[in-house]
Amino acid sequence: MLMDRAIPSAVFSQPPIGQVGLTEEQAVQEYGDIDVFTANFRPLKATLSGLPDRVFMKIIVCAITNRVLGVHMCGEDAAEIIQGIAIAVKAGLTKGDFDATVGIHPTSAEEFVTMRSPTRKIRRPHPPLEGKTDTDVKSPAKV
């Protein structure tokens, strides 16, 4: 059950890393079809100061239910931001809930509520229905 996996964790490295929920591999194994949303950018602080720092964020979503299954971040304040996101993952919020949230601008955290298009869609091949071949399933009804 996802709620058991909604325990956030962080690595206080340079840059810091934070995550909550499932990885892509775990999500595909448990849910099959997933959508992955990513953002890779220079935060405003780095842009203004001329630092080369970057932030990477990822949201993993069940393609069938739209439920957020995992969130990952690498960059400044990752632990602080993921701690807040963990509440949403544990509560079972959907990508639509994230999209309907107004982000605080200009912050790195706002990226989690402004990622609109999936970077990639992963679809696991589904086995044919019991007792039917792929041809039977795809064929129109014969009248």
| Residues labelled catalytic | 105
Residue 50, both tokens: 């001329």
Q: Going along the chain, which residue ranges are E strands? A: 9-11, 17-21, 34-41, 55-62, 68-74, 120-122
Hey, what amino acid is at 39?
A
Q: Which residues pair with 39 in a beta bridge?
A: 57
Name the residue among 67, 64, 73 with its Cα closest to residue 122. Answer: 64
User: Tokens 């399933």, residue?
Assistant: 137
Report residue 122 as tokens: 């992963």
The rounded distance, in Å, linking the Cα atoms of 24 and 11 is 19
